[in-house]
Chain A
Amino acid sequence: MAHHTLTGTYTEEQDELRKVVRSFLSKHSTEADVRDLMATTRGYDPAQWRRMGAELGLQGLAVPEEYGGAGYGYVELGIVFEETGRALLCAPYLATVALAAEALLRSGDEAARKDLLPGIAAGETVATLAFTEDGGSWDERGVAAHARRTATGWAVTGAKNYVPDGHTADLLLVAARTDAGLSLFAVEAGAPGLVRTPLETLDQTRKQARLDLDAVPARLIGAEGAAWPVIERSLAAAAVLLAAEQLGGASRAMELAVEYAKIRVQYGRAIGSFQGIKHLCADMLVEVESARSAVCDALWALEADAPDLPVAAALALAYCSDTYTRVAGDCVQVHGGIGFTWEHPAHLYLKRAKSSEVLLGTAASHRERLAVRLGL
Chain B
Amino acid sequence: MELDFGPEAEGFRAEVRDWLDGHLVGEFAEHRGVGGPTDAEAWEVRLAWDRELAAGGWLGISWPKEYGGRGLGLLEEIVFNYEYARAAAPYRATCSALDLLGPMLVAMGSEAQKRRFLPRILDVSELWGQGFSEPGAGSDLASVRTRAERDGEDWVINGQKVWTTMGHVADWLYVLVRTDPDSQRHKGLSMLLVPTDQPGVEVRTIRNLAGQDEFAEVFLTDARTRADLVVGEVGQGWRTAMGTLGIERGATLLPQQLTFEREAEALLAAARAKAEAGQLDPELRARVVQAWTSVRIMRTTNLRTIGELLAGRDPGPQSHIAKLYASTGHVRLGHLASELAGPAGQITGSGYALDTRQRTFLLSLAETIYGGASQVQRNIIGEQVLGLPREPRP
* Chain B residue contacts of A261, Cβ below 8 A: 388
Against B, the Cβ 8 Å flags (1 = close, 0 = not) of A273-316 are: 10101110111011001101110110000000000000000010
A279 partner, pick from B293, B304, B375, beta carbons under 8 A:
B375
Q: Who on chain B is nearest to A277 by CB?
A: B388
Task: Find out whether the CB atom of B304 lies under 8 angstroms from the CB atom of A275.
Answer: no
Task: Find out whether the CB atom of B304 lies under 8 angstroms from the CB atom of A293.
Answer: yes
Task: Find out whether the CB atom of A272 lies under 8 angstroms from the CB atom of B317.
Answer: no
Give the Cβ gap from B50 to chain A, nearest Cβ, in Å.
Answer: 28
* Chain B residue contacts of A9, Cβ below 8 A: 304, 307-308, 311, 313
Within 8 A of A (CB), among B108-155: none
Among A144-152, A213-221, A366-374, which stretch is in contact with chain B? A366-374
Task: Find out whether the CB atom of B297 lies under 8 angstroms from the CB atom of A273.
Answer: no
* Chain B residue contacts of A3, Cβ below 8 A: 1-4
* Chain A residue contacts of B4, Cβ below 8 A: 3-6
Task: Find out whether the CB atom of B321 lies under 8 angstroms from the CB atom of A262.
Answer: no
Task: Find out whether the CB atom of B300 lies under 8 angstroms from the CB atom of A296.
Answer: yes
Q: Who on chain B is nearest to A7 by CB?
A: B307
Question: Given that A4-B1, A262-B387, A285-B386 are known contacts, is A290 also in contact with B321, CB under 8 Å in the complex?
Answer: yes
Interface centre among B307, B375, B388 (most CB of A within 10 A): B388
Give the Cβ gap from A290 to chain B, nearest Cβ, in Å.
Answer: 5
Give the Cβ gap from A291 to chain B, nearest Cβ, in Å.
Answer: 8
Task: Find out whether the CB atom of A6 lies under 8 angstroms from the CB atom of B289.
Answer: no
A114 in contact (CB, < 8 A): no
Against B, the Cβ 8 Å flags (1 = close, 0 = not) of A258-271 are: 10011000000110
* Chain A residue contacts of B280, Cβ below 8 A: 376
Task: Find out whether the CB atom of A293 lies under 8 angstroms from the CB atom of B301.
Answer: yes
* Chain A residue contacts of B272, Cβ below 8 A: 374-376
* Chain A residue contacts of B306, Cβ below 8 A: 6, 8
Task: Find out whether the CB atom of A8 lies under 8 angstroms from the CB atom of B305.
Answer: yes
Task: Find out whether the CB atom of B325 lies under 8 angstroms from the CB atom of A279.
Answer: no
Q: Who on chain B is nearest to A11 by CB?
A: B311
B87 in contact (CB, < 8 A): no
A258 CA to B304 CA in the complex, in Å? 24
A282 CA to B382 CA in the complex, in Å? 5
B381 in contact (CB, < 8 A): yes
Task: Find out whether the CB atom of B5 lies under 8 angstroms from the CB atom of A6.
Answer: yes
* Chain A residue contacts of B387, Cβ below 8 A: 258, 262
A111 in contact (CB, < 8 A): no
B262 in contact (CB, < 8 A): no
Against A, the Cβ 8 Å flags (1 = close, 0 = not) of B366-394 are: 00000000010111011101111111100
- Show the binding face of B for A, using Cβ within 8 Å: 1-6, 268, 271-272, 275, 280, 285-286, 288-289, 292-294, 296-301, 303-308, 310-311, 313, 316-318, 320-321, 324-325, 375, 377-379, 381-383, 385-392
> Apart from A282-B381, A370-B293, what are 7 other A-B pairs with CB-CB below 8 Å?
A6-B310, A262-B387, A273-B389, A281-B386, A286-B321, A289-B301, A376-B275
10 A-B pairs in the complex with CB atoms less than 8 angstroms apart: A6-B3, A258-B386, A262-B387, A262-B389, A275-B391, A281-B382, A294-B297, A315-B296, A370-B293, A371-B285
